[in-house]
Amino acid sequence: MTVKSAELIKTVFAKGEYPPPMKREIAFAGRSNVGKSSLLNSLFGRRLAKTSSTPGKTRSINFYVVNGEIFFVDLPGYGYAKASMSEREKWQRLITDYFESREGLSLVVLLVDIRHPLQPADKQMLDWVTYYAIPYVLVLTKADKLSKSRQQQSKKSISEEVSVWGRPPVFSVSAENRQGIEELLKTLLQ
C-alpha cells in the first residue's frame, strides 16, 4: 500500500474548528523534536509537513487527507520546555478537546525517540490514549542514530516500559534512511 495523494486541508488553532470526519482518522502524537513532521513527510513520500530545527514549531492540529479517504492528523508536540506555561496549557486543552470530540479517531501513532526511555510527557500521553480507549501503535524514531544491536536493546526496553499501558505494535523507523517506513505505512493504510 502506498500514499497516492496527500494534502494539508485544515490547520486548527482552536477547539471545535475541526473538518468533518472521513472514513478513518489517525493521529500522530509525540514530544517536540521527536521527528513527527519528518516521519509524516516520509510517509507522504514528499515534503508536505513543515520541519524545523527548533522544537515546538507545530502549535496547531494539522489535518492531511491521504488517498482521499483517511485523515493523518499532526498534533502539537508536547513536553517543550521553552514554550510558555500558558502556551503549553493551550496545546493541552486543544489536544484533550480533540480526543474527546473526534469519534472517527481510529488510531494514535505515538512517537518516541529510540535513544531515550519514556519521558513523563510520553507517559501522560499513554494515560490519555488508554483513558480514551484509543488503539495505538508505538513508533520509535531516529533508529538510524543507533546500531542494529542497540536498536533491538532499546526497542525491547521501551516495549517493556510501555507494557503497563498494553502491548501495542512497535516499529523502529528512520525518516533519514526510510527504515521501517513501508512496514508502518502498510499497517496504517490497511
Domain boundaries, the chain: 6-189
Residues in contact with 133: Cβ distance below 8 Å, sequence separation at least 6, in sequence order: none
Distance CA 122, CA 72 (A): 20
The phi and psi torsions of 173 (rounded to 5 degrees) equal: -130, 160
Give Cα 62 distance to the centre of its chain. Answer: 12
3-state SS class at 189: helix
- Mean pLDDT for 94-109 is 93
pLDDT at 151 over 90: yes
Taking CB atoms within 8 Å and a gap of at least 24, the contacts of 87-93 are: 87/59, 91/59, 93/15
The phi and psi torsions of 100 (rounded to 5 degrees) equal: -75, -25
Residue 113 pLDDT class (50, 70, 90 cuts): very high
> Which class would CATH give 6-189?
alpha beta
Give the per-residue pLDDT at 145.
96
Give the per-residue pLDDT at 90.
77
3-state SS class at 85: helix
Residue 105 pLDDT class (50, 70, 90 cuts): very high
pLDDT at 52 over 90: no
Taking CB atoms within 8 Å and a gap of at least 24, the contacts of 46-51 are: 46/6, 48/6, 48/7, 48/8, 49/8, 49/74
When mean pLDDT is compared across 68-82, 96-110, 173-187, the lowest value belongs to 68-82
